[in-house]
Amino acid sequence: MAKIFCIANQKGGVGKTTTTVNLAAGLAKAGQRVLLVDLDPQGNATMGSGIDKRQLELSVYDVLLESASIAEAVVKAEKCGYDVLSANRELAGAEVELVQLEHRDQRLKTALAAVDGDYDFVLIDCPPSLSMLTLNGLCSAHGVIVPMQCEYFALEGLTDLVNTIKQVHANLNKDLKIIGLLRVMFDPRVTLQMQVSDQLKAHFGDKVFDTVIPRNVRLAEAPSYGLPGVVFDPSAKGSQAYVEFACEMVKRAPTL
């Protein structure tokens, strides 16, 4: 049975997509069968996996509207070692079209059930909002991975997400929980970041992942080559950290 995780945070630019593609590549390196689901109409995870979002025959949009199955719509990210259910701007329309449909929040869950045996991990890259798309992700998942920067308002920003997860857990998906908070773009020389990191650990305990992802320019350069940092430059500090994070996830997975 596949472990299904959303990478979510309603803030933009916090490292969701970077975490999704690099964790996917790290898990693939560790021999895991991985499906990456791009749920963001910006299609950054799609492009960052080397798939041209302007030339998709089928995408997650078709899956949500039930005009294609995942098996039909999935594309292999050859150099990355994982499969991608890709996205482009068309997906923004799904938000509106879904409103009129039945079981609109369960579409992705139903589609994923058909490929459950084909993957060890399914990673869902969510858009920076708590929209119908994100809700489809949260209804499908066993848990949420929250990438966050250790900044002054980090804890406040978490409140909305934690409340949404609680509501989805209570009403729609009994499985859902926070798997962990991942500290990203971390710079230990910045005193404030160390302080916020300590606060996070005090507040959330073992819900804070052991692995810390440093700020590393190679991770930011990789998407322009259509590759996750882990594949683009495996020796970079940031790539090594994501490989370590993948190992932490493999270790934790049986208990999740």
In the complex, the residues that contact ligand ADP under the rule CB under 6 A are: 12-18, 44, 128, 184-185, 213, 215-216, 219-220, 223, 238
- Least distance to ligand ADP, CB of residue 242, Å: 9
Closer to ligand ADP by Cβ: residue 68 or 232: 232
Among 5, 6, 14, 17, binds Mg ion (CB under 5 A): 17
- Chain centroid to Cα 253, Å, comes to 15
Subset of 80-119 contacting Mg ion (CB under 5 A): none
Q: CA-to-CA distance for 155 and 100, rounded, in angstroms?
A: 35
18 is in the binding site of which of Mg ion, ligand ADP, none (Cβ under 5 to 8 A by kind)?
ligand ADP
Subset of 30-59 contacting Mg ion (CB under 5 A): 44
Q: CA-to-CA distance for 20 and 48, rounded, in angstroms?
A: 10
Q: CA-to-CA distance for 152 and 173, rounded, in angstroms?
A: 31
List alpha helices for the chain, DSSP H: 16-29, 44-47, 60-64, 70-73, 90-99, 107-113, 132-140, 154-171, 191-204, 217-221, 229-232, 237-252
Subset of 150-169 contacting Mg ion (CB under 5 A): none
- Least distance to ligand ADP, CB of residue 109, Å: 22
H or E segment and range at residue 228: none
**Tokens encoding 205:** 């305990």
Among 3, 16, 142, 183, binds Mg ion (CB under 5 A): 16
- Least distance to ligand ADP, CB of residue 216, Å: 5
Site size toward Mg ion (CB under 5 A) is: 3
Q: CA-to-CA distance for 211 and 184, rounded, in angstroms?
A: 9
**What residues make contact with Mg ion under the rule CB under 5 A?**
16-17, 44
